């Protein structure tokens, strides 16, 4: 049985101590610079599904089975991950697919190194900072102007070429079979077909091809009905036979350009959404698309190493900033009011989120185009200064939530937090040799732009709405316009696939869906394990809070639709009242002023590895149809 390590002695206020981690894969010795943490082992706590030869944790059971089958047949973690991605295009088309983008982190056991493949979408050559004009978000995000040059296919092709053992063609075969033979529509997809929570209308009813597939004869597909996708199967066969050139330079490329030329919605529900703009993508843009191999951003938390996503994701830096701001507080020590869900613990989480998002929205963007001060943003002195703003007895006023200057430590003008799509997916894989993949992949909003490529059966993203618009560049204030639109630039993301290390060896992989809430989810799952002594599954099951650089705080309560899952242990109403009393004088907005009804938007997946035995434990998020499968 797996065992849990609990803290037997409380951490004292403001001392540098090593926190007790929740699993036997952590040695009882302290990994940081402080003294021992008083760890005691409580045996016999079954935590999660485990296997020696491999584990997958995926948001959909059929895609999880595909990944497990690849591992069982001798494929490695990258082989399994690529097959999972293509299967998700079939069974979760509302969340990811070849019409979108992905961030892929790979731990190579052979190289003893982590790598990042950036296959984020890019803006076309004709893109300009003012290209959205005065369009509303709804009109822009449902027309061709929002479609970025897709990167997912190129990303997995690159990963397979560098670290895989199977061909792209072999990796596509399970997805082809699923598209050909069909599968029973699950609760999540059935709910998303008629979902109106994002924008007040249904994304599957805006374009005729999308409606024909998901609403045959005008009737939305229901749970249990069989969905076959012959056009998508044809597309995947073309790619399997001809490689990615058919997508980026051949007939599929031509179809993509034609599809994104739509300026308005044309389906039955499109009457209210007619003021769009045609996309700017050309065949040359598709032919010029290239992935980028990047170095992870790295840091530590209470002695444990972290590798996470660099720019153009704004996720990794912000995750590391939040954790470092939290490190000065004794999270996990209930005697000092820092137990899970206690007032002090929730308060410092919220304040750290607010400050880090102020930095993110000002400084972070595509580092190929703007100078992102990564070293300054992660500098220990800078973060001590930022974290020192957090007071235990009061919430910061909105006027104090401004970006710092990581060079001169001077506050700057606040930047608004743009809307970011929640509908993404994350999965993790580990194989018998110790290779690990943690990947977040998306088409941005629910069903992306709502535009399906006619005759080819896949959704196009609306990722370009992740840029700042109107543009933020301002010479007078010094605003660098880090996330303004530019030709070939990748929009800022929050996706944060992450690895955790002990002594240079990875013991956990995690990530989440949820738009900008991804960052806060990764921070809380990490803290739940390291600070609060939770198992990996308990860390996922716990409720989360989420704040940005504005006044609203989202609190998870449940039950969520469509799964009915309620996170546990629930936040206390009395604690929320105490937080409200702190917030009212400074902000006037209570905690939990935001509500997240659809928990599937926020689903995370994770795995941990017992470094002593090699056992691999997966944890799947019950907010979605998460599934863990293992290979013994």
Q: How far apart are CA 392 and CA 233, in angstroms?
A: 56
Residue 273 above 70 pLDDT? no
* Interacting residues of 263 by C-beta distance below 8 A, sequence separation 6+: 143, 144, 145, 276, 277, 278
- The percent of residues above 90 in pLDDT, for the chain, comes to 75
Provide the token pair at 269. Answer: 């529900």
Q: Angle CA(87)–CA(89)–CA(91) in degrees, nearest 5? A: 70
**94 class by beta-carbon count within 10 Å (0-12 exposed, 13-18 middle, 19+ buried):** buried
Alpha-carbon span 406 to 458, nearest angstrom? 42
**Mean predicted confidence (pLDDT) in 411-423:** 54
For 443-497, strand residue ranges (E) read: none
Predicted confidence at residue 22, as pLDDT, reads: 34
Least confident of 21-25, 239-243, 480-484, 622-626: 21-25
pLDDT category at 558 given cuts 50, 70, 90 is confident
Binding site listing: 120, 466, 493-494, 515
Residues contacting residue 254 through CB under 8 Å, at least 6 positions apart = 283
Q: According to the model, what pLDDT value does residue 379 have?
A: 93
Sign, CA dihedral 13-14-18-22, equals: positive
Q: What is the mean pLDDT of residues 471-479?
A: 88
Tokens of 493: 């993301």
pLDDT score of 2: 32
- DSSP letters for 590-632: -TT-EE---GGGG-EEEEEE-TTT--EEEEE-TTTT-EEEEE-
Mean pLDDT along residues 373-385: 94
Query: How far apart are alpha carbons 330 and 332 in whole angstroms?
Result: 6
Burial class (CB in 10 A: 0-12, 13-18, 19+), 1: exposed
What span, in angstroms and rounded, lies between the C-alpha atoms of 291 and 271? 38
- Assign residue 478 a region: left if phi > 0, alpha if psi is -120 to 50, beta otherwise? left
Instruction: List the structure tokens of 303.
Output: 């002695």
Lowest-pLDDT choice from 39-48, 83-92, 330-339, 400-409 = 39-48
What is the structure's pLDDT at 416? Answer: 53
Give me the active site residues, please. Answer: 424
Q: With 0-12 CB in 10 A as exposed, 13-18 as middle and 19+ as buried, what is 427?
A: buried
pTM for the full predicted model: 0.91
Q: CA–CA separation, 53 vs 616, rounded Å?
A: 8
pLDDT of residue 490: 98
Cβ count within 10 A of residue 588: 10
In order of 175, 385, 459, 497, 610, the CA distances from 118 in angstroms are 23, 32, 20, 11, 29
Question: What is the rounded distance in angstroms from the CA atom of residue 465 to the CA atom of residue 444?
Answer: 9
Token pair 């009905």 is found at 225
Mean pLDDT in the chain? 88
Q: What is the pLDDT of residues 179-206, one digit of tens each?
A: 999 999 999 999 999 988 777 789 999 9
Q: Per-residue pLDDT averaged across 430-449, rounded?
A: 96
User: What confidence tens digit (pLDDT) does each residue in 291-340 have?
Assistant: 999 999 999 999 999 999 999 999 999 999 999 999 999 999 999 999 99
Q: What is the mean pLDDT of residues 490-514?
A: 95
The per-residue DSSP string of 166-201 comes to: S-HHHHHHHHHHHHHH-EE--HHHHHHHT--TTTSS
| pLDDT tens readout for residues 80-132 | 999 999 999 999 999 999 999 999 999 999 999 999 999 999 999 999 999 99
The DSSP secondary-structure symbol of 406 reads T
pLDDT score at 381:
93
Residue stretches of the annotated binding site for L-glutamate: 120, 466, 493-494, 515
**Least-confidence region, from 61-65, 102-106, 619-623:** 619-623
Q: Closest Cα to residue 267, out of 142, 144, 148?
A: 142
pLDDT at 9: 28
* CA distance linking residue 92 with residue 59, whole number of Å: 9
Rounded to whole angstroms, how far apart are CA atoms 180 and 233? Answer: 6
Residue 32 pLDDT > 60: no
Q: What are phi and psi of 104, to 5 degrees?
A: -120, 125
Distance CA 453, CA 269 (A): 19
Q: Of 353, 409, 403, nearest to 380 (Cα)?
A: 409
Structure tokens at 387: 């974290």
Sketch out the chain's domains with CATH numbers.
Answer: 1-75+95-129+290-632 (3.60.20.40)
Residue 495: CA count within 13 A, CB half-sphere: 33
Q: What is the mean pLDDT of residues 452-471?
A: 96
User: DSSP assignment, residue 204?
Assistant: G
What tokens appear for 121 in the block? 């979408």
Which residues, other chains included, contact 71 with Cβ-Cβ below 8 Å and sequence gap of 6+?
A: 53, 54, 56, 77, 79, 80, 429, 431, 432, 631
Q: Is 443 helix (H, G, I), strand (E, B) or coil?
A: coil
pLDDT digits (tens, 9 = 90+) for 128-184: 999 999 998 888 999 999 999 999 999 999 999 999 999 999 999 999 999 999 999
Contacting residues for 119 by C-beta, under 8 A, at least 6 apart: 101, 102, 103, 104, 151, 152, 154, 155, 156, 158, 291
Q: Token pair of 177, please?
A: 């079979």
Average pLDDT for 8-30: 28
Average pLDDT, integer, range 212-239: 97
Which letter does DSSP use for residue 391 in this model? Answer: B
| Backbone torsions φ then ψ of 396, nearest 5 degrees | -70, 140
Q: Is the pLDDT higher at 413 or at 549? A: 549
Residue count (the chain): 632
Instruction: Check: CB of residue 481 under 8 Å from CB of residue 301.
Output: no
H/E segment holding residue 63: helix 61-72
Buried/exposed 32-56: b ≥16 CB within 10 Å, e otherwise: beeeebbbeeeeebebbbbbebbbb
Q: Which of the two residues, 278 and 265, has the higher pLDDT score? A: 278
């Amino acid at each position: 049985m797996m065992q849990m390590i609990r803290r037997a002695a409380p951490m004292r206020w403001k001392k540098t101590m090593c926190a007790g981690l929740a699993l036997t894969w952590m040695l009882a010795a302290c990994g940081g610079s402080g003294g021992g943490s008083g760890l005691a082992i409580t045996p016999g706590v079954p935590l999660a599904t485990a296997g020696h030869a491999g584990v997958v944790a995926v948001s959909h059971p059929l895609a999880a089975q595909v990944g497990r089958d690849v591992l069982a047949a001798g494929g490695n973690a990258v082989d399994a991950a690529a097959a999972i991605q293509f299967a998700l295009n079939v069974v979760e088309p509302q969340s990811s697919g070849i019409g979108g983008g992905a961030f892929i982190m790979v731990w190579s056991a052979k190289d003893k190194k982590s790598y990042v493949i950036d296959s984020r979408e890019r803006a076309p050559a004709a893109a300009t900072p003012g290209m959205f004009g005065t369009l509303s978000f709804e009109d822009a995000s449902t027309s061709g102007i929002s479609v970025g040059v897709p990167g997912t296919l190129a990303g997995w092709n690159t990963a397979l070429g560098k670290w895989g053992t199977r061909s792209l063609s072999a990796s596509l075969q399970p997805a082809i079979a699923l598209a050909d033979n069909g599968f029973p529509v699950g609760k999540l997809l059935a709910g998303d077909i008629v979902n109106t929570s994002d924008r007040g209308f249904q994304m599957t009813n805006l374009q005729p091809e999308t409606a024909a597939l998901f609403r045959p004869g005008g009737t939305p597909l229901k749970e249990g009905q069989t969905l076959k996708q012959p056009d998508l199967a044809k597309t995947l066969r073309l790619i399997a036979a001809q490689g990615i050139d058919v997508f980026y330079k051949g007939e599929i490329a031509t179809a993509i350009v034609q599809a994104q030329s739509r300026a308005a919605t044309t389906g039955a529900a499109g009457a209210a959404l007619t003021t769009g703009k045609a996309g700017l993508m050309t065949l040359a843009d598709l032919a010029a698309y290239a992935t980028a191999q990047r170095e992870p951003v790295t840091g530590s938390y209470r002695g444990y190493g972290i590798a996470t996503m660099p720019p153009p994701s704004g996720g990794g830096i912000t995750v590391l900033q939040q954790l470092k701001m939290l490190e000065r507080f004794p999270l996990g020590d209930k005697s000092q009011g820092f137990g899970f869900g206690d007032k002090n613990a929730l308060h410092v989480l919220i304040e750290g989120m607010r400050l880090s998002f102020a930095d993110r929205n000002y400084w972070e963007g595509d580092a190929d185009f703007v100078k992102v001060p990564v070293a300054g943003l992660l500098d220990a002195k800078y973060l001590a200064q930022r974290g020192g703003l957090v007071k235990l007895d009061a919430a910061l006023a909105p006027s104090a939530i401004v970006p710092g200057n990581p060079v001169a430590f001077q506050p700057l003008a606040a930047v608004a937090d743009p809307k970011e799509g929640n509908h993404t997916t994350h999965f993790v894989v580990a194989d018998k040799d110790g290779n690990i993949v943690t990947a977040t992949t998306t088409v941005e909003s629910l069903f992306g732009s709502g535009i399906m490529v006619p005759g080819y059966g896949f959704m196009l993203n609306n990722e370009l709405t992740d840029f700042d618009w109107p543009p933020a560049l301002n010479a007078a204030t010094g605003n660098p316009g880090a996330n303004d639109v530019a030709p070939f630039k990748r929009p800022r993301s929050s996706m944060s696939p992450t690895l955790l290390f002990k002594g240079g060896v990875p013991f956990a992989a995690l990530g989440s869906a949820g738009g900008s809430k991804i960052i806060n989810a990764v921070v809380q799952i990490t803290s739940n394990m390291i600070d609060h002594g939770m198992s990996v599954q308990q860390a996922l099951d716990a409720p989360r809070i989420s704040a940005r650089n504005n006044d609203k705080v989202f609190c998870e309560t449940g039950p969520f639709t469509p799964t009915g899952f309620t996170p546990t242990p629930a936040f206390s109403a009395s604690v929320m009242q105490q937080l409200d009393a702190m917030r009212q004088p400074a902000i006037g907005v209570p905690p939990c002023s935001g509500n997240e009804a659809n928990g599937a938007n926020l689903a995370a997946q994770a795995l941990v590895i017992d470094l002593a035995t090699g056992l691999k434990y997966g944890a799947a998020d019950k907010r979605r149809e998460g599934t863990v499968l293992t290979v013994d």
